Amino acid sequence: MKSSVYIALPLFLLLAVVQTAVLPYFPIFGIVAQVPLLVIISWTLLHGLEEGLVWAFVAGLSVDLFSIGPFGATALAYITAVLVIASLNNFLPSGRFFLPVVYAALGTFIYLLVYLSFVRLLGYGTAFGTISNLVTLVLLNAGLMLPIYWLIYGIEHSIRPRRVEV
């Protein structure tokens, strides 16, 4: 777990810059995918709740550094999404194809629900266009989940292969 934090800090600072400065120039269906959220969900599925929460906190604060929204709102929304997904992952069988897509859709929905509620609670306005694009963002993130999940899975298993004992 300790080495995970050293990976998370630079990774999510880089992803936060990519999320806020690069990806808006490459929207898909007019929507920008939430890549840090998909990386967090993938890491949580591969490493469990504890590391998922650390990564969610670091990623949320990193994204909030470049956001005009309230500081900590993204971190709170990411942490909530990770808590729900990790809880469900304990009850459902593990899978590398269908379940990550479902978790991405659910995690995106929970993230958006918590984030928009927190933003509205603090008096920040949300445009109707933002709310009408929520379904598109959930579907986009679900569609992008498998490539990101498999990439992280492949990197993880090439860096730290599982020990086989006879």
Rounded mean pLDDT of 85-107? 86
Alpha helices, H only, the chain:
2-17, 35-47, 49-65, 73-91, 98-121, 128-132, 134-159
H/E run at residue 93 = none
Q: Specify the pLDDT at position 124.
A: 74
Please give the backbone phi and psi of residue 28, each rounded to the nearest 5 degrees, phi first: -115, 120
Reported as a single tens digit per residue, the pLDDT across 38-65 is 999 999 998 888 989 999 999 999 999 9
Rounded mean pLDDT of 149-155? 89
Q: How far is CA 5 from the centre of its chain?
A: 16
User: Considering only CA atoms, which of 55, 57, 59 is closest in space to residue 44?
Assistant: 55
Please determine, for residue 129, whether its predicted confidence score (pLDDT) is greater than 60.
Answer: no
pLDDT-based confidence at residue 92 (cuts at 50, 70, 90): confident
pLDDT-based confidence at residue 29 (cuts at 50, 70, 90): confident
Annotated domain spans of the chain: 2-23+32-156
Mean pLDDT for the chain overall: 86
Q: Specify the pLDDT at position 80.
A: 96
